[in-house]
Structure 1
């Protein structure tokens, strides 16, 4: 896909990521934090598909970002989209990790080298980043009691019963706060 052939939002995010990489090359830590926020989910997904373990994928993702920090001055738009360039670093780091930690496995290097990235296309992923930002904004507008319950239930995976026990509140209160929070979240997203 050529530069500029996506939606205006996708093109904007691509340019934003390229600018962050340029600033990271100048050792701008704020730009690095912003780049991490935008790309860490995708890079984690790439690592997870290759190494097959969430804890190892987190380590690979962190190592990938160290390499991105060290090599940011190597990036150029001629190399492709910023996300594709960073994805290649994550993929190679994950393959290296896999080889190091799975010496007895039967998966050949040729299979790993040719492993396709079955994740979303970069443009689709960039659009999902924008949607994630909207959701994050709307969650931030919720009251603290609703926000913490929704985050714990839907992002940390706790059941309502676990939340009631952890927070020391009745189960029906948890359910009603989550229900009201989701209603407020839906209204905010519809208004955006």
Structure 2
């Protein structure tokens, strides 16, 4: 079985829905780095991120039939799966208990080891350039929500801004991102 070198999104989705192994390999080869970048920013620890990435690809494989192209791009759908899986993992009781039992130097050391590579992992898809086109206050919200895993409530508390304002700004930021991304098509 020879590998696939280029697939249009529509063809990739169709092949994944048919459970084509080569399409899954293509998906992994072309998207794993970007998804890993998002997951590691939320999870912070390589071993945990590896677990989450495995879970993300299993979910994509299992639930590809629920993907609706009318609601958005495949890339957006898999990014949301990765982000939500990472947030769920971090918020799980076992991880929270393990984090409480870990010494501070261990946590700091792990973050220092991974921070430099995360931005390059995510940026290989060029999304950093897109984010840089947003106003600074919008960019901060998107980074906190999608890369650091904060909920809107947590962002409001952290920035000391009313929740309604956070929701309005986030919506504005997402609409602007949508407009910017259309220019890249």
Normalising by structure 2, report the TM-score.
0.48
Higher relative contact order (CA 8 A, sep 6+): 2
How does the TM-score come out when normalised to structure 1?
A: 0.46
Return the index of the structure with the highest Cα Rg.
1
